[in-house]
Amino acid sequence: MSSRLIVALDFPDTERALSFVALLSPADCKLKVGFELFVAGGPDFVRSLVDLGFDVFLDLKFHDIPNTVAGACRAAAKLGVWMINVHAAGGDKMMRFARESLSGLENPPYLIAVTVLTSMDAEQLHQTGVMADSPDDQVKHLAKLTRESGLDGVVCSAQEARMLRETLGNDFLLVTPGIRPEGSQQGDQSRVMTPEAANAVGVDYVVVGRPVTQSDDPLAVIAQINQALL
């Protein structure tokens, strides 16, 4: 069974990232590359992870005019990555263009959308002009729009997973950052959950960064999380 754990490579440079990845097996986890590491290492770094056999989630959260996002998604797919994402706030047309850009590819990556960043609470949403009563309301609205636009799923907080599963069904991917094993520090995430609790509410994949990458025994933490997701 393929691992449902995505390890976020929270490193500022490729040397430290590759040193850490050398400890891992593609059978035990997938990998997430975000802005910092992508800017540091570029497409060649992403290709190197794919060549090592890892499923790679390229987490660049594309958000621009539809044609630009479509071109970026197609370019990302050519790197051989397993998953890419866009911001649902870009709207239906942008997301449909992104979806269409992947049509015809032999092995297209999953295409998912970010709803509300897990670092944001209601007050921060209101500061941006979103007048939803709570992050849950905005997440539900954007997740419905994402599904209507033909995407494969969303990035969301595990705290919204049960609501989204009931609303959108079982064939819609829920990818959840803000996952913290019991005893881990919360860091800059506002809405967090343990792997066990996330599994119980129906998430498909959990994203874990610093609790793994900054651990004295990352393989033990990975094994613990994989066990919790069985």
Q: Is 225 annotated as a binding residue?
A: no
Q: Is 210 annotated as a binding residue?
A: yes
Q: Is 209 annotated as a binding residue?
A: yes
Q: Is 49 annotated as a binding residue?
A: no
Q: Is 147 annotated as a binding residue?
A: no
64 an active-site residue?
yes
Distance CA 142, CA 51 (A): 34
Which residue in the list 30, 55, 61, 204 is annotated as catalytic? 61
Q: Is 64 annotated as a binding residue?
A: yes
Q: Is 186 annotated as a binding residue?
A: no
Which residue in the list 30, 55, 59, 204 is annotated as catalytic? 59
Q: Is 112 annotated as a binding residue?
A: no
Q: Is 65 annotated as a binding residue?
A: yes
216 an active-site residue?
no
Distance CA 17, CA 213 (A): 9
Which residue in the list 28, 64, 92, 137 is annotated as catalytic? 64
Q: Is 62 annotated as a binding residue?
A: yes
Residue type, 146: T
Take residue 125 and report the two structure tokens written for it. Answer: 């949403």
Q: Is 63 annotated as a binding residue?
A: yes
Q: Note whether 144 and 85 are within 8 A (CB).
A: no
Q: Quick check: helix, strand or coil at residue 174?
A: strand
In 10 A of CB 96, how many CB atoms? 16
Q: Is 121 annotated as a binding residue?
A: no
217 an active-site residue?
no
Which residue numbers belong to the known binding site? Answer: 10, 32, 59-68, 118, 180, 189, 209-210
Please enumerate, by residue number, every residue annotated as part of a binding site for substrate.
10, 32, 59-68, 118, 180, 189, 209-210
Query: Any idea which residues carry the catalytic annotation?
Result: 59, 61, 64
